[in-house]
Amino acid sequence: MAMAGIGNIARIPELKRRLLFTLLMLAVYRVGCAVPTPGINADALSAFFARYKSTMLGLFDMFSGGALERMSIFALGIMPYISASIILELLTVVIPHLAQLKKEGQAGRKKITQYARYGTVVLSLVQGMGIAIGLESMTSPGGAMVVPHPGWGFRLMSMVTLAAGTAFIMWLGEQITERGIGNGISLIIFAGIVARMPSAVASTFQMVRLGELSIFLLVALLALMVAVIGCIVFVEQGQRRLPVQYAKRVVGRRMYGGQTTHLPLKINTSGVIPPIFASSIIMFPATIAQFIQVEWVQHAAKSITPGGWVYSLLYVAFIFFFAYFYTAVTFNPADVAENMKKYGGFIPGIRPGKRTADYIDRVLTRITMGGAVYLSIVCVLPTVLTSEFNVPFYFGGTALLIVVGVAMDTMAQLESHLLQRNYEGFLKKGVMKGRS
């Protein structure tokens, strides 16, 4: 059935063009990840990253698709754009001008996106300068300098190069969103993570060949990954649907309303934001401590590196905090209740207005608890497998959430294009849902 659905893509010229354009833009991105920044000793940098793989550098390297480890022109990746977008999203709560723009629909969103672009360039310049200064002080375990010729010439060149690379990636993502299939920014992160899959598979089979990993354990690991992916798909599509009844109203000679619909509340409203923020906050002090050669500082840094129980407890606590915090920022029950009341809608058995807002908030609080538990299990499981059972789990929970989520989004968009033209989708029974 799925193969027949994929075959239908070739029958739609517009969809085929969009798909080819997306693949071409992703290919351009991967080529750029291999273009090095001038003035870097590649061998010394690779040895340095091998030493600090479990710190914040390893997290950023994962989102950049390995470009940071090679210090390519795309080393900063798309993270400055994501950071700028999240910061603006949070600022809409405290800055009335941004809150007003958010309510103005498409025109307001375009203005906020423009602010996000400016913020991306500023963050990229600052981070580029910080990375350049940091690289000058780095040496490989063998003592080789990562930057053979340090100075302001190298710093300015690196700052401009890395900022230009991030701006180009941002442009690629917007072009994919506009002319391709799926969300361009998400697909770029997806491509960076999936690019490591061939080497991970090869390493796993090498371990099996050398007897370091048994066939039975490999089969069990594959079964576990399938089960985790199935769990992610199930929960990401999960919704709590609150019934909403609209009263009949007469406008001129026409009667409107009277229908029954529902208000969908996603179990995981915050998406992958909590794990990303939690990882960044925990790994930041550990990364800084790696460069402070004091015994107690090194001991503290070791206790909060991935694999320890202190790290796992902090990780789960921060996931819960950001799951509730980000949900509260992005979803306002009072605004939803006010809009329902304005158009004559109400939840059966609940009075419109404040009572409705309180009810929605109470339901959202309960299902967010389930979403936070789900995120914690998915994100901590790879750490437990790697540290306690010495099992090679190459894709962490955050990476797995991103890969599965982006794949579902892209398939849903392909499905909608096929169904709009009266073709069968990928599945004859049912359609992709729940990722809107």
- Summarised one tens digit per residue, pLDDT across range 299-337 is 666 666 666 677 788 888 989 998 898 888 788 888 888
Give the tens place of pLDDT for each residue, 180-220.
888 888 888 888 888 777 777 777 778 778 877 778 877 88
pLDDT exceeds 50 at position 435 = no
- Residue 278 to residue 398: CA distance in whole angstroms: 10
- Residue 398 to residue 412: CA distance in whole angstroms: 21
Residue labelled with tokens 């392909």: 414
In this prediction the pTM is 0.75
Q: Which residues pair with 72 in a beta bridge?
A: 36
Q: Which of 195-204, 335-344, 372-381 has the lowest mean pLDDT?
A: 195-204
What are the residue boundaries of the structural domains of the chain, listed by start?
15-196
pLDDT for the residue numbered 186? 83
The three-point CA angle 66-69-75 to 5° equals 75
Chosen CATH of 15-196 out of 1.10.3370.10, 3.40.605.10, 3.40.640.10, 3.40.50.300:
1.10.3370.10
Give the tens place of pLDDT for each residue, 11-66.
777 888 888 999 999 999 888 888 888 878 777 777 766 665 555 555 566 666 66
pLDDT exceeds 60 at position 427 = no
Q: By the 8 A CB rule, do 193 and 65 touch?
A: yes
3-state class percentages of the chain: helix first, strand second, coil last, to nearest 5: 70, 5, 25
Give the tens place of pLDDT for each residue, 240-290.
888 888 776 666 666 665 678 888 888 888 888 888 778 777 766 666 665
Name the residue type at position 85: S
The three-point CA angle 155-158-162 to 5° equals 145
Name the residue type at position 285: P
pLDDT exceeds 60 at position 429 = no
Angle at which helices 184-194 and 13-32 pack, to 10 degrees?
A: 60
- Residue 63 to residue 74: CA distance in whole angstroms: 11
Cα separation of the two ends of the chain: 24
Give the tens place of pLDDT for each residue, 246-256.
776 666 666 66
Query: Widest CA span of the chain, in angstroms?
Result: 84
Q: By the 8 A CB rule, do 378 and 228 touch?
A: yes
Q: What 3-state class would DSSP assign to 18? A: helix
- Residue 349 to residue 167: CA distance in whole angstroms: 51
pLDDT for the residue numbered 1? 45
Q: Which of 150-159, 210-219, 294-303 has the lowest mean pLDDT?
A: 294-303
What is the torsional sign of CA 412, 418, 421, 422?
negative
Who contacts 33 (Cβ-Cβ below 8 Å, separation ≥6)? 64, 65, 66, 67, 70, 72, 74, 192, 195
Q: How many CB atoms lie within 10 A of CB 279?
A: 24
